[in-house]
Structure 1
Amino acid sequence: MNASHVVVEPHILYPGTPVVLVSTVNEDGSDNLAPISSAFWLGWRGVLGIASDSQTTRNLLRSGECVLNLPSPTEVGAVDRIARTTGKYPVSEFRRDMGYVYEPDKFGRAGMTKLASETVEAARALECPIQLEAVVAATHGIGEDSDELRGAIRLIEVRVQRVHVHPDMLMEGHANRINPDKWSPLIMNFQKFYGLSGQVHPSRLAEIPESAYACLATV
């Protein structure tokens, strides 16, 4: 690879982030399901970046709960079927110009099956190998120093309350460990979908017992 670099100004910076299907409950009690690709976790806390005017954000702020359904590459078709849909009516001019359409039945359009959750009202997506029931812990603004961004995006901190995992994803002999060799998250890489390759190098972090992080699971 050439050692020199060039300065660029990409319109988006999504250099490999996980896709999350966020399920919430609408005002009328129906279910909403929305794909996002701005999310990360620390312990049992998650941070979601979502447009302030989206139906998902409205539902999160009103109900204070959700399910974070984590798809693998196997579920990419379902994710893509609702990629340019919105549960908010009428569709905003910005989204309409990008080809978004109103869809009141996101689960149906995606072809995913609803499962009842145990600690929240929002439904889980059966087909997703990992499902995280969560409640809103805090909300934050982003881009408050910019006239263009101020108020446009919300950072929503959630506290995970229950983790559901398909048994095929678990490490043999461990009831509470997800096997990274079996779990492959769906990745959004500059607007295109990717999966993970195999492990490329041993990790010194992996030498730390996973149980050492147990204190973070209850905060």
Structure 2
Amino acid sequence: MMKTKTINSKILYYGNPVVLLTTVNGDGTTNISPISSSWALDHFLVIGLGTTGKAYENLQRRGECVLNIPGPDLWQHVERLAACTGKEVVPSEKVAYGYTYVKDKFHAAGLTRKISSVVSAEAIAECPLQIEAKVRHIREPDYMESLAIIELETVAIHAQESIIKEGQHIDPSKWSPLIYNFRHYFGLGDELGKTARA
């Protein structure tokens, strides 16, 4: 039997895909927020966001976004956004971590804008998978200070042709998402098997 030890970890990102969430600012420009709290069920998605950030403000106002899913080769671009905020007045909790206001995050990260097909937020051209979505519900649970749970519905999905198989499916042998695992970036390893379930 494997030995275990009880720990008190400050973080619990045990391995989630990185999402570069694009939302629309009040002036019509697009903001990029790197997040790693998301999951999907059918065509519905759930994301977790801090309530003091620009993305949360934008989603409350416009109710739409693009979830841009980067591959492992984009980790350095993602990291360039780590200490950037779209808030002109940097929230006090972010000041302590060295965040600075950045208006044009596309330029800061070295990423390219792409017009979306349904929503107003621009997508990120370098991301192999881009999911346009609209907000269906926002919750701010009392037990989660300064955090919100946001339910989204997919309205359009775009994938690079090189990772598509059989016309409509993502080929996991050709692409995998960038994973954020306990504050480290990883790509998925070799395929180990396939489920028999549909």
Please name the residue that 1:101 is paired with: 100
Tell me the SS of whatever aligns to 2:158. Answer: strand
CA distance in 2, matches of 1:116, 1:30: 12
Please name the residue that 2:194 is paired with: 202
Deviations 1:49-104 (A, max 9, x none): 00011100000110010011000011111111111110012111110111111101
2:152 aligned with 1:162: no
Unaligned runs of 5+ in 2: none
The RMSD of aligned alpha carbons is 1.1
Please name the residue that 1:60 is paired with: 59
State the 1:26 CA deviation: 0.4
Deviations 1:165-210 (A, max 9, x none): 0001111xx11111111121000000110110011233222xx2xx
2:137 aligned with 1:138: yes
Tell me the SS of whatever aligns to 2:169. Answer: coil
Tell me the SS of whatever aligns to 2:117. Answer: coil
1:159 partner letter: E
CA distance in 1, matches of 2:162, 2:116: 20
Please name the residue that 1:47 is paired with: 46
Aligned residues: 198
Tell me the SS of whatever aligns to 1:56. Answer: helix
Unaligned runs of 5+ in 1: 209-219
State the 1:141 CA deviation: 2.1
CA distance in 2, matches of 1:181, 1:107: 29
Please name the residue that 2:12 is paired with: 13
Tell me the SS of whatever aligns to 1:107. Answer: helix
| Higher share of residues assigned helix | 1
2:44 aligned with 1:31: no
CA distance in 1, matches of 2:152, 2:2: 41
| Higher share of residues assigned strand | 2
Q: TM-score, normalised by structure 2?
A: 0.97
State the 1:6 CA deviation: 0.8
2:65 partner letter: C
Please name the residue that 1:153 is paired with: 147
State the 1:27 CA deviation: 0.5
Q: Percent identity?
A: 37
Please name the residue that 2:123 is paired with: 124
CA distance in 2, matches of 1:191, 1:45: 26
